[in-house]
A = this chain, B = another copy of it.
Amino acid sequence: MNFNVIGESVNRSDAIAKVTGKARYSEDYSESDMLVGKVLRSQYAHAIIKNIDVSKAKALDGVKAVITHKDLSKIKFATAGHPWSLDPSHRDVEDRLILTDKARFVGDAIAAVVAEDELIAQKALELIKVEYDVLPAVFNAKESIQPGAPIIHEEKPDNIISSFGANIGDIDEEIKNADYIFTGEYETSAVQHCHMENQSAYAYKDSSDRIVIVTSTQIPHIVRRIVAQALGLPWGKVRVIKPYIGGGFGNKQDVTIEPLTAAMSLAVNGEPVRLTLTREEVFVDTRTRHAMLFNIKTAVSKDGYLKGIYMSNLVNNGAYASHGHSIAMSAASKFRPLYNFSAIKVEPKTIYTNLPVAGAMRGYGIPQICFALESHLDDIAKSLNIDPIEFRENNFINIGHTDKLSNLVVRSFGLKECVKKGKELINWNEKKEKYKNQSSDKRRGLGMACFSYFSGTHPVALELAGARIVMNQDGSCQLQVGATEIGQGSDTVFSQMAAEIIGIPFDMIHIVSMQDTDITPYDSGAYASRQTFVTGAAVKKAATEVRNKVLKIASKKTGLSADELDIINGDIIEKRLNGFICTIEDISMEAFYNRIDAEPITSDVSENVRMNAIAYGVTFAEVEVDIITGKIEVLEIYNVHDSGTIINPKLAEGQVQGGVSMALGYALSEKMIFDNKTGKLLNNNLLDYKLQTILDTPNIGVAFVETYDPGASFGQKSLGENPAISPAPAIRNAVLDATGVAFNKLPMNPQAVYEKFKEEGLI
């Protein structure tokens, strides 16, 4: 395809705003004299709240309100950031109160104070007396589903939230007839998103008795709905505004603080109340990535073909359902259009425990299943003594592959090219040869891992997006989308798309970056790597409408048909001879001011995208393992992506670098550590919780194989979450290559590596 603006590495539309500090976030909009909210949290992992005495707290000077579950409605609501479903069986699990009447994890919110300032609020919290009836607690998913385990929610006495998986073909038959059977157990840990901006919101009642919430969210329209549900209000009575946000990574695809913030404001007659979580609170009472435990059994033919795969998956969901029911299902879906299995059976169990709540996080279950599967494939290849790349390539699906459950068709498949490119970038063959026989304490190895990922949630959920374009007199345009810029650069790529279609330079698109549910076109928000694909279709539709309106006026002006005209770089052109006719400004001035038929050029559209596009990619990693200390150093790492058309290469590269660096932490250092007895999070801060720093991070190589997906508005496919998926298994496979030791549990931090090496007799 020939594009003018798409494919260019234009600067982010928010670059200057962010670099100069002009970008305003939720807290920048709140005012210094606002009332402040603070939350009292349970110190017990599982306890009935027998009594709460708030009288002393209420009496404290400067305290405006103290609320507990007794002051609020008993409506249970779901928090996951999904579009609402008209089908009740398709809705999220409603298991949450704004303030709970039973603590289900250490940190569960049981009371809230509204005060004149933070210090007073903090003092008031200390004056609240809670009488607990402490119950036995369970933290481990396996234990939680044993008979006699503590029941966390009465509605689910077996502690199982959901067990919806996948079943294609006849797995039993495949296993029965297999030449080889391979089994393996793989385990991942709970980690945290660690977005720079903590959850922060403020709420007030406007003069029409509506609740207004300004919040750092990925999903303003969904926040509106859930707050209304939690408070029992008509949905139109809630208005949500999303300013710039400092990262989300899925944690802000959930409704965490907004219903409580609104309830706190209502407790003080609608006065503005601000609630900003501390980092410690973010760790315990927002969301985490699910810890999962996979058991895999794979049938392989003697010539190295994958025949059938069975995976069980125990998913530790923590104390409330959140996204729980759908992440395991997502994991069971998105890996499927990758290898040619005749039979696939995935049996997940998503399980309540008395831990902080797991929810959406970049990759939505796929980093976990990809770790399990891609580790397992290397284990098989090693057993069969086949090159792991060749083994995978032999089993790749191809264009035209149709997933038997979702009926999604693979319309573009650049994975083979990705693997080829990655192999070259890391110099695979030469290094493989070189590292064949190592015996020193520092051993090097190569590993790789592939993944497939979807673009949005179709056909599981509704994929609706809206876009509105308003042309100014000078031909420049404002673009409004309900989709949210959360740092990923979506505002910029939408602007490129609109400029491309209309035929004007990029800087003539003024993106309206702030979403306001009162006026912003409806879009469910930033998640599932959907926006470039789904919202892109809406932007294309809106821009096409604008373009057609421009051409219609130009056509009237010239007597030429619209087909004979084009818009290039803001000029109206006669196509055949490439002759300049007038500027787009001339046309827009007509549209604004022609006395007979003035009608300013705008479009306000919605697009229901009933389509998906499957993106692919691969990570190649080279590691050096220090056998003595257990330290794994990633020497080189390359992510090569087939995400269809790349709208903005520079932003795409940044997206991949961010995703890979996140995955490096997932592979090597990050883990939420809970006290075995109390369930208390021991590393609830950025000192004890080991994020990768810039010093830990190698150069991250990024490459793209540009396919053109015919189902997409510009050939594009997902890229947002994708880079975070395959680095962990690639590194794990490189360690296997270097040391012969198979790490089946994340993270591979020095302590774990050291212990494993001891166990395996390396030291």
Write the residues of chain A forming the contact surface with B, with a CB cutoff of 8 angstroms. 13-14, 16-17, 20, 22-23, 83-86, 206-208, 210, 225, 234-237, 462, 464, 466, 468, 470, 472-478, 480, 507-508, 510, 512, 518-519, 521-522, 585, 589-590, 592-600, 602-604, 606, 608, 610
Residues of B within 8 A of A210 (CB): 510
Bound: A83/B592 CA distance, A: 9
Residue pair B20, A593 in contact (C-beta under 8 Å) = no
Please report the C-alpha to C-alpha distance between residue A234 and residue B596 in the assembled complex, in whole angstroms: 25
| Complexed CA–CA distance, A14 and B604 (Å) | 27
Q: A595 contacts which chain B residues (CB < 8 A)? A: 86, 462
- Chain B CB within 10 A, most for which of A474, A519, A595: A595
Do B478 and A593 have beta carbons less than 8 Å apart? Answer: no
Chain B residues lying within 8 Å of A83, measured Cβ to Cβ, are: 593
Q: Are B468 and A604 in contact (CB under 8 A)?
A: yes
Cβ A512 vs Cβ B522 within 8 A: no
A210 closest partner in B (C-beta): B510
Known A236-B473, A470-B518, A475-B236: A598·B608 in contact at CB below 8 Å: yes
Task: Give chain B residues whose Cβ lies under 8 Å from the Cβ of A597.
Answer: 608
| Complex: A704 Cα to B566 Cα, angstroms | 56
Given A234-B585, A236-B472, 5 new contacts (CB under 8 A) = A85-B593, A236-B510, A478-B518, A598-B606, A603-B604
User: Which residue in B22, B237, B466, B590 is a CB contact (below 8 Å) of A206?
Assistant: B22
How far is B14's CA from A238's CA once the two chains are assembled, in angstroms? Answer: 18
Closest CB in chain B relative to A610 CB, distance in Å = 8
- Complex-state Cα separation, A261 to B608, whole angstroms: 45
Residue pair A464, B598 in contact (C-beta under 8 Å): yes
Whether B600 contacts A207 by the Cβ 8 Å rule is no
Q: Is the CB of B519 within 8 A of A480?
A: yes
What distance in Å separates the Cβ of A520 from its nearest Cβ neighbour in chain B? 9
| Contact indicator B236/A522 (Cβ below 8 Å) | no
**Listed residue (A473, A521, A590, A608) with the most chain B CB atoms within 10 angstroms of its CB:** A473
5 contacts between A and B (CB under 8 A): A225-B473, A236-B508, A468-B604, A512-B518, A521-B602
User: Contact: B594 with A599, CB < 8 Å?
Assistant: no
Choose among B84, B208, B472 the residue that contacts A13 (Cβ–Cβ < 8 A). Answer: B208
In whole angstroms, what is the CA distance A519 to B478 when docked? Answer: 7
A592 contacts B464, CB within 8 Å?
Answer: yes
Docked-complex contact A84 and B236, CB < 8 angstroms: no
**In chain B, what residue has the closest Cβ to A13?**
B208
The listed residue (B22, B208, B592) touching A16 by CB distance below 8 A is B208
Q: Which of B234, B237, B510, B598 contacts A208 (CB 8 A)?
A: B510
Q: Measured between C-beta atoms, what is the minimum distance from A612 to chain B in Å?
A: 14
Secondary structure call for the A interface: loop
Interchain CB contact under 8 A, B600 and A464: yes
The answer on a CB contact under 8 Å between B512 and A519 is yes
Interface pair B606/A604, CB less than 8 Å apart: no
Smallest CB-CB separation from A14: which chain B residue? B207
Q: Is the CB of B522 within 8 A of A474?
A: no
Q: Are B593 and A84 in contact (CB under 8 A)?
A: yes
Q: How far is the CA of A139 from the CA of B493 in the complex (A)?
A: 60
Residues of B within 8 A of A522 (CB): 592, 600
User: How many Å lie between the Cα of A592 and that of B521 in the bound state?
Assistant: 12
Contact A599 B592 (CB under 8 A): no
Q: Are B472 and A235 in contact (CB under 8 A)?
A: yes
- How far does the alpha carbon of A354 sit from the alpha carbon of B479 in the complex, in Å? 47
Sorted nearest first, the 10 A-B pairs with minimum C-beta distance are A236-B476, A17-B207, A236-B472, A604-B604, A234-B474, A16-B207, A236-B474, A235-B473, A522-B600, A478-B518
Cα of A476 to Cα of B592 in the assembled complex, Å: 30
Bound complex: CA A480 to CA B594 (Å): 23
Query: CA separation between A85 and B522, bound complex, in Å?
Result: 36
A239 to chain B, nearest CB (A): 8
> Is the pair B470, A519 in contact by a Cβ cutoff of 8 Å?
yes
Contact of A593 among B86, B472, B480 (CB under 8 A): B86
Task: Report the Cα distance A510→B507, complex, angstroms.
Answer: 33
CB distance from A498 to the nearest CB of B (A): 14
Select from chain B the residue with minimum beta-carbon distance to A21.
B207
A571 to chain B, nearest CB (A): 15
Are B474 and A84 closer than 8 Å at their CB atoms? no
Residues of B within 8 A of A600 (CB): 464, 466, 521-522, 606
Q: For the complex, what is the distance from the CA of A598 to the CA of B600, rounded to whole Å?
A: 27
Judge whether A84 and B16 touch: CB under 8 Å: no
Contacts of A468 in B (CB 8 A): 519, 604
Question: What chain B residues lie within 8 Å of A473 (beta carbons)?
Answer: 84, 225, 235-236
Q: How far is the CB of A505 from chain B (nearest CB, A)?
A: 12
Residue from B84, B207, B234, B478 within 8 A of A23 (CB atoms): B207
| A17→B212 CA distance, assembly (Å) | 14
Q: How far is the CB of A515 from chain B (nearest CB, A)?
A: 12
The reply to whether A592 and B208 form a contact with Cβ atoms under 8 Å apart is: no
A585 to B235, CA, bound (A): 10
Instruction: State A236–B477 Cα separation when bound (angstroms).
Output: 8
Chain B residues near A474 (CB-CB < 8 A): 234-237
CB atoms of A462 and B598 under 8 A apart: yes
Q: Say yes or no: B236 contacts A594, CB within 8 Å.
A: no
Question: Which residues on the B side are within 8 Å of A86 (C-beta)?
Answer: 589-590, 593-595
- Separation of A593 and B235 alpha carbons in the complex (Å): 14
Residues of B within 8 A of A480 (CB): 519
Q: A548: shortest Cβ distance to chain B, in Å?
A: 15
* Residues of B with C-beta under 8 A to A235: 472-474
Distance of A190 Cα from B472 Cα, bound (Å): 38
Alpha-carbon distance between A753 and B449 when the two chains are bound, in angstroms: 98
When chains A and B are docked, how far (Å) is the Cα of A597 from the Cα of B86? 13
The interface centre, meaning the residue of A225, A462, A480 with most chain B CB atoms within 10 A of its CB, is A462
Q: Are B592 and A22 in touch, CB under 8 angstroms?
A: no
Residues of the B chain whose Cβ atoms lie less than 8 Å from the Cβ of A594: 86
Q: Give Cα A16–Cα B207 distance, bound, in whole angstroms.
A: 6
| CA–CA, A644 and B468, complex, Å | 36
Task: Quote the shortest CB–CB distance from A81 to chain B (angstroms).
Answer: 15
Residue of B nearest to A22 (CB): B207
Smallest CB separation, A160 vs chain B (Å) = 27
A23: B residues at CB distance < 8 A: 207
Q: How long is the Cα–Cα vector from A466 to B471 in the complex, in angstroms?
A: 13
Q: How far is the CB of A424 from chain B (nearest CB, A)?
A: 40
List of B residues within 8 angstroms of A602 by Cβ: 521, 604, 606
